[in-house]
Structure 1
């Protein structure tokens, strides 16, 4: 027999005294997300209208009948045709009726309400209104339901759980589609004069310090369903002031019909706000109370009736950017400003693995100790660098305290022009921290003479410095491999390898790179009267760049017959030199080229299409080299004529340094990635043993752990590695679910964006990164292996890292959302002579594949081409 505990009452009015099933505790699984939230709010004294919940078990008879139907069998067998099979299930469900036990169970809760009472009937799925899935708009809500129409309304609400939209959403978000579960809320309908939605954070800016209210006259359904343009209010939680007030058109409003159902009508006064200021502030107070109760950002539905405020629903906001608790500051406290270095420098759009985060923290620790003598990592609000949850951040508040906003903004312009512009627009006093942080000046002064001496030697003898560095690198790589294969425990090996690698880099390759950058600045100063085009040309197609060499080596493989012994030998050499690299290569969890050779072989096949043409990577590189040398000769002639013999010789000497050593800017990362690849091999070996001993389920789960976990597991056989893996991933998985992580945000969650510019019609403006003008078809890629990039196509991506380099050899131009002059995409584009524009907001969503555009890398403008201007497609 159906028990009364399958119905839960949440009374608010004093007149409601009966509590059905009070010995039973309502659970999320029994009453669903929405119902659980209402019960919790009611028990906490929030103004929730009374009602009751038909729990999941109440509908067991209906679910049993559904699963015994022919339509259910067809649904399970024809998963590919969900629209049709879902329609069949709904046809079965619309015929359901309350059985005698269900009717008996409903008698007591219905007696709590007057005969003329009207109800709102809503779904409450255990899978709905959760932290990661809202199912917004998927289930049906029926308003103004009379007691005698309750059965029909409940059937409609129940049937909506079988709708194709709901089933498709469940499938997309990883929920099982073959076990529908639904509870239904029956709540007293409020005959509201004004109603709507309120968010406890600003969903556009992600600002946790703002409440956003949308409101309309009548019932809130017009706001929720988007039938009317509502009034909008933004309230500052700190000052409790209304900072934005926008009067909507309020084209239509819905009103409760006291005889049942709803009626449509015009707003009483469309030109005035539907909420008074006192009502706005009262609602803001309620929203803050609800947020405090639930301990997370909350989306609420509310209503005013007879000057009484009611809370109709409260559910977690699912679409926002969470901020780690230790990076948050209290509401009203001094704010901190953070830069996501993972995006602007490395182009890592999603969190890296837990082990990758641990390794990255080790890299920063070793680098900061080598450079500054202190570990710059620490508590986020007091430190310079922060590594956690798969991301690397800078605390710009502390950086600005050292260098000032203008200098930091200028430095940031080389990484992310959009973030730089946004930073230049902030009020510095709002973010400058009063906390102490490391002052590394003394250690720098101690190290400076040694570094300066190495830089000076490279400046005076660049060819010898290059030769010595190549010899030292040739010895270093085998040493690292031998060390990685030693018997040292993996958690000890990690620190030892990173320390050795950074010591080598700071001693060997960093001085060469610094010498090249100093030389570049000086030679530009000498040749200041030359055209910008000539000066920019000096930076193209430079030798000794390991990343450029990788792309050209891949093309050389395409030239050779793939069945020949020569190809096999060259292939072996390629993997020896570059097999440790790959997409998202900074993450130790990411596979290397040597582990997925098919991806490279596919790229080689694509490159074969350029054979026999002048438009191939090697030809473009050679042409760019020729243009660089021509520009160099032109500047020399200009200096000889106008500046004199001494300045000419200085320029030639500086240019020799820059030409020989500038490629070492890529060598630091090459060496780091090599070390990480060796650690990866050791970790995978360790994972084999952990899988055999059943402490892990799969080898790749080892990347959800940290070195500390492995150390604990080595000394304690009962240490639960699987639980540790789940804990480690919890927050980074939430970040991974965010479609677009921000580059610049503060400790109250607010995303800082620059003021939008207004380009001409048909144009999109970004920041010029590499000169040249190209017309071609757009190809949007979200990761390197997503789809082939054909010769002549224009690569559009959010950001790139060296794992994208093989794609550049086929690209005719590059468009990036993120990245500055020194970011990977811009560097490689200049090396290959490709026009490149960066800082294009939302670039990956602006165009579809095949769109014809013109990319002007000199001005930073992308123009949509008219039909008559479109060139013929390249003959592929």
Structure 2
């Protein structure tokens, strides 16, 4: 085998180190029998031999390693110096001879396409087309050598350098091969995606087509026709106006030509060829086992495949439903839980075990809570086959996230879904058995039960469950402990559903009734939103108050507050003991940690660092409270909120008595009393789960420490890249795989998953369902979301991605991707809230209403569209966010 040149038939998918991504794919396609124009690859060995002739590249690599993504001017300057240097170097004689020999065998009279093929492009996880250069219609030996040299130099274009920086590739470890391929001069060319790159629909082939060479529309010079094929039928044609095209010149190179007017709106590719091309694309996808982005050309009745690379922008589909013959709908668990970031396998495994539906045994992992892209998706398809559920579920989902509700509604209204909606005979009975006791308790709560003790009852249940779980897991080690954790997790949620869910559900229904009846009886409900203020028993609100108390203790000791500005986790308590007042403050801090130390932002992910593990994470919240809130003001505000709610309730009831009757007033008073009694326990179920997550985490990490000591794990936190079953098998010494190798792969997957943006709703075919948004007139420079807490304010935007890094000033408007209880400390400083996800009953909405600040949620892309420091108007009554001025 020639170390400098490889023919396509000598290359396959494993030839990446020698032929780069593009070359390896072309060799693979050639050997699989697909119609690829013949050619050869100038190997990465040739590039290395070329670079080794330079005495300056070592210094250039040092300069490259010092670059950062924000140093664009330096990137541009260093890249240009390297390219100019490489273009000045002669090609080594041995390399030149090998290229010339291969070229002569292919034919010296023909034209060639010369393309760079880097080892860091066209990869399954990092497909970045066009990093380097392409030269078309290359004629003659000297032009060929010049094109090869320019391809080598193009490894250091600005975009290629930035790509490697962004994706963590070492500049020294990326090499470039050069593809030399007989030139095809197609009548029509384009790009084919074997899945719709916009909607994600895996059964839709999407084809872009235009006259001449494909570079015309790849470069954006002209628009291309769009054809879509599904199930062997053309389902969409969008004919573009094509005034120009690129063609080859007889003497080499290309030119842009104007097209005759009759071709401008002419369909570029005949219908029969569209269908033939779609079939060919699906065959290539089947060969690779992954959706493909394919460059193609057509001329003289022949289709040619010029390149194929994986589509890496599609959100993955759960394996469990990918091959379903029926239309299935899935919605995001993370959007529901206010945590849309990727999670590691242990977190996914635990939640699938906790989830009470779709399981053979309590300790099994759910078949309707499915992992994809490091997130979880709920598959409610089977229960949506029941008509009453189809009516009720979208309404319930509206309270969680309007986008989810509308996406699910879009699927279930489709004719295909309606035709397939035949529930299993036993499903209605199963659903009835689960729902009936909850419904009975809700009715009793609303109609006749004394609900005044709901908070105390739920608190007692919570403490009993946590104590029982601690007792169950105490003194057990090894695989037995992990199996007990699995059993403990598997039984928890159903108890929460039956014993606690009726209380917050009663509160939701009561509040809905209050809204509807006041609107019907009074014609407006302006006071209703005040009923949400200062609900008693809400563990998250109590945590916020406790944090305020902690801040008031810290402010008594100036040296403590100064220390908190510089404290570090590893020495946090030792350093605290060294400052005046530190020991006194530590007593209050440890008391807070005993109650809330298991919480943190993103707390549903068991691998997240808890406040007790990172006390420094609380420092910003404590300092922010000291800076923005007067001593004791948090308690006064809470008491003021309670009084405001009581006064609002009195006014509503009195007005109904005056306008309607005593009976109407008594019914309204009943609903308000139930709402105020039970809505405070809304956060109890999650608090119980988080306390159990902390308990399970401690046990899992203790087992991980033993595995790390034995060298099975590199370090204990690697355990989060395993599932519960895998961890038990490893502890039992019956795990067949190389643990470190598996964890290494999972780590790479996790990094990749972090770059993905999860959809709210998708089908089993990968189609992302966005739903039809509500329509209303909104001002210019405004964003529309879901109104969840009434009121209108103006203020300065503070975009916060990490609450530990937040620096809110009094009156700022908090702009966040989502919030959970770990974000609660920021609500004391914010005068309004805007979130990308959420609904009426999600965490941020509930806390905003309790604090009496306007809130708009479900604002797509809020953290991207809104800039830090912009002046905004937040209308929490209509759900409108308006930019009033640019950054301060």
- Give me the TM-score of the superposition, normalised by structure 1: 0.89
Deviation at 1:71, TM superposition (A): 3.9
CA distance in 1, matches of 2:207, 2:434: 57
CA distance in 1, matches of 2:228, 2:365: 34
Unmatched 5+ stretches in structure 2: 69-73, 561-580
Between stretches 254-263 and 481-490, larger displacement belongs to 481-490
Alignment partner for residue 337 of structure 1, among 310, 329, 335? 329
Q: SS of the residue aligned with 2:644?
A: helix
Between stretches 267-276 and 831-840, larger displacement belongs to 267-276
Between stretches 666-675 and 724-733, larger displacement belongs to 724-733
- Indicate whether 1:172 and 2:166 are aligned: yes
CA distance in 2, matches of 1:414, 1:376: 30
CA distance in 2, matches of 1:422, 1:535: 29
- Indicate whether 1:592 and 2:610 are aligned: yes
Corresponding position of 1:359: 350
Deviation at 1:10, TM superposition (A): 2.7
Matches within 5 A, 1:456-855: 456=444, 460-488=449-477, 489-498=480-489, 501-502=492-493, 505-506=496-497, 508-517=499-508, 519-520=510-511, 527=518, 528-530=520-522, 531-560=524-553, 561=555, 562=557, 563=560, 564=581, 567-612=585-630, 617-618=634-635, 620-716=637-733, 719=736, 720-726=738-744, 734-738=752-756, 740-755=757-772, 757=775, 759-855=778-874
Deviation at 1:251, TM superposition (A): 5.0
Corresponding position of 1:266: 258
- Indicate whether 1:312 and 2:330 are aligned: no
Contact 1:368–1:376 under 8 Å retained in 2? no
Alignment partner for residue 30 of structure 2, among 42, 53, 60? 42
Q: SS of the residue aligned with 1:710?
A: helix
Deviation at 1:765, TM superposition (A): 1.6
CA RMSD of aligned residues (A): 3.1
CA distance in 2, matches of 1:643, 1:794: 40
Deviation at 1:67, TM superposition (A): 6.3
Between stretches 846-855 and 87-96, larger displacement belongs to 87-96
Q: SS of the residue aligned with 1:178?
A: helix
Corresponding position of 1:397: 381
Deviations 1:481-503 (A, max 9, x none): 34444325321221343356447
Q: Which structure 1 residue ranges, 4+ long, deviate > 6 Å from structure 2?
A: 373-379
CA distance in 2, matches of 1:220, 1:418: 38
Q: SS of the residue aligned with 2:323?
A: coil
- Indicate whether 1:416 and 2:401 are aligned: yes
Q: SS of the residue aligned with 1:214?
A: strand
Corresponding position of 2:197: 203
Deviation at 1:346, TM superposition (A): 0.6
Deviation at 1:438, TM superposition (A): 6.1
C-alpha change, 1:636 and 1:324, in structure 2 (3 Å) is closer
CA distance in 1, matches of 2:14, 2:475: 57
C-alpha change, 1:262 and 1:448, in structure 2 (3 Å) is closer
Corresponding position of 1:386: 370
Q: SS of the residue aligned with 1:595?
A: coil
Deviations 1:57-112 (A, max 9, x none): 12232122246646436526744554433333223211222222123212432123
Q: SS of the residue aligned with 1:606?
A: helix
- The alignment of Structure 1 onto Structure 2 pairs a total of residues equal to 843
Deviation at 1:282, TM superposition (A): 2.9
C-alpha change, 1:244 and 1:839, in structure 2 (3 Å) is farther
C-alpha change, 1:374 and 1:636, in structure 2 (3 Å) is farther
Corresponding position of 1:221: 215
Deviation at 1:454, TM superposition (A): 9.6
Between stretches 56-65 and 714-723, larger displacement belongs to 714-723
CA distance in 1, matches of 2:301, 2:133: 28
Corresponding position of 1:9: 7
C-alpha change, 1:387 and 1:58, in structure 2 (3 Å) is closer
Corresponding position of 2:574: none
Corresponding position of 2:573: none
Deviations 1:241-294 (A, max 9, x none): 14131314x354221012111112223332333333333233222222222222
Contact 1:780–1:796 under 8 Å retained in 2? yes
Contact 2:442–2:505 under 8 Å retained in 1? no
- Give me the TM-score of the superposition, normalised by structure 2: 0.88
Alignment partner for residue 439 of structure 1, among 416, 419, 427? 427
Deviation at 1:837, TM superposition (A): 1.1
Deviation at 1:634, TM superposition (A): 0.6
- Indicate whether 1:347 and 2:320 are aligned: no
Contact 1:121–1:153 under 8 Å retained in 2? yes
CA distance in 2, matches of 1:4, 1:387: 46
Deviations 1:350-405 (A, max 9, x none): 2322111111112113x778xxx98698885xxx4435664332223223202353
Contact 2:515–2:525 under 8 Å retained in 1? no
C-alpha change, 1:687 and 1:555, in structure 2 (3 Å) is same
Q: SS of the residue aligned with 1:322?
A: coil
Alignment partner for residue 143 of structure 1, among 115, 136, 139? 136
Deviation at 1:518, TM superposition (A): 5.1
Deviations 1:747-777 (A, max 9, x none): 1111011245464422222221110111112
Contact 2:793–2:832 under 8 Å retained in 1? yes
Corresponding position of 1:16: none
Deviation at 1:444, TM superposition (A): 5.2
CA distance in 2, matches of 1:109, 1:261: 21
